[in-house]
Chains A and B, each alone.
Chain A
Amino acid sequence: MRLMLNTLLLVAAVGVWGCQQEDKRVIMTEDVKSDNALVNIVTKPVIHAFSWVIGEGVEIDRAVTYVNKDGFLQLEIAGHNRAFNPIRYEYKVEWLDKDGIVIDTTTSKWLLTSAAAKAPFAIKAVAPRTTAVNFRMNTRKIPN
């Protein structure tokens, strides 16, 4: 009887835990949200070490371009940081005309940005000329 009751309680607990739907629009970092059976004070160091060993970092999910109502190409890059620590880096966007030639502009400079730990990020840019039809972006580590 006791065994049956304990089993039922365990099944109920797993069921409640498993059925919780996290709203993907809210990013709960591990130091903010509650721990669970898989991520807790015991397993966190192992998970972090593994992440560090395999060198997790920033990844780009998609790059979207569109021409705004004034005829300028706008860019939005969406990505996420797979690492357990914030990553600061610099990026430079260069704009290309229809012949693939880089447009000479003083706005193509190294700009500082960062991505919070285990969180998505977005980078936005707008071309300074209406002749821009494409882009290329470069990234680099912050110089020491």
Chain B
Amino acid sequence: MIKKLLAFTLLASIITIVGCNTPTENVDTINDQGKAVMQLDYRDFDRAASEMVQSMIASGTFKKEGGGRYVVAKGRIVNDTMQRIDTDQLMAKVEQEMTRSGLIVMTAAVGAGNAPKDSLVHSVREIRDSDKADEFNKDTLQAKGQLIAPELSISGKIIQRNVHYDNNKQQVEYYFQLQMNNLTNGLVFWQNENIIGKRGSDKKVPW
């Protein structure tokens, strides 16, 4: 009798634990109905990138006289928030859309600081200038003077400000700042700031 009772209790406990586990589900990134969060999530990067791209295209400053596209190098994008953000979460979307618009083309040969550029662009040239070049078909090696220098650079900053709202709430403000600089004359070609504000419980940590 006791054994049966113990077995039943154990079985009921297992069923309860398994049944109460929060199920995992895939996020519908097209029509996400999820709640807002205090940190930056993919929806915030999507919104910021969308508004930045629209601002660039609507500005009318990227239409190159004489036709063609501006060659753009990636400058420094500073993360001044309390979160570990890979700034490519924002920049990849912006660069992709601007390239597809036909107004600009990104260069992988030049970048500022740790801006990702394709190291192979220079590696193949090192091979060309080394003994290893003998291993390659000379006609397939990159000739000198082929790289195109950038005309513009894109740089920016993501800033976070935490503001005490009232006794129970805090407000976190995220400022997305981007600018395009003319590398020929040093002038700022285009600039925009996008603000995303969040207000929530001060018990939640925004990182």
Contact = CB atoms under 8 A, between A and B. Distances in A.
Interface of A: 68-70, 72, 74, 105-112, 124-130, 140, 143-144
A71 B54 CA distance: 14
Contact of A106 (B32, B63, B93): B93
22 contacts: A69-B60, A69-B63, A70-B62, A70-B103, A72-B101, A105-B97, A105-B100, A106-B46, A106-B49, A106-B93, A107-B49, A107-B50, A107-B54, A110-B43, A111-B47, A111-B50, A125-B54, A126-B58, A128-B57, A128-B97, A129-B101, A129-B102
Interface secondary structure of B, over-half rule: helix
Interface string B52-87: 011001101011000000000000000000000000
Nearest 4 A-B pairs (CB), nearest first? Answer: A143-B33, A107-B50, A126-B58, A70-B63
Interface residues of B, number: 25
B34 interface: yes
Contacts of A143: 32-35
Contacts of B49: 106-107
Contacts of B102: 129-130
Nearest to A131: B102
B60 A68 contact: yes
B53 A128 contact: yes
Contacts of A107: 49-50, 53-54, 97
Contact of A128 (B33, B34, B100): B100
A143 B101 CA distance: 31
B61 to A, nearest CB: 9
Main secondary structure of the interface of A (DSSP, over half): loop
Given A72-B101, A107-B50, A109-B47, 10 more contacts: A70-B63, A105-B97, A107-B97, A124-B58, A125-B54, A128-B57, A128-B97, A128-B100, A129-B101, A143-B33
Most buried by A among B43, B57, B62: B57
Interface of B: 31-35, 43, 46-47, 49-51, 53-54, 57-58, 60, 62-63, 93, 96-97, 100-103
Nearest to A69: B60
A126 B96 contact: no
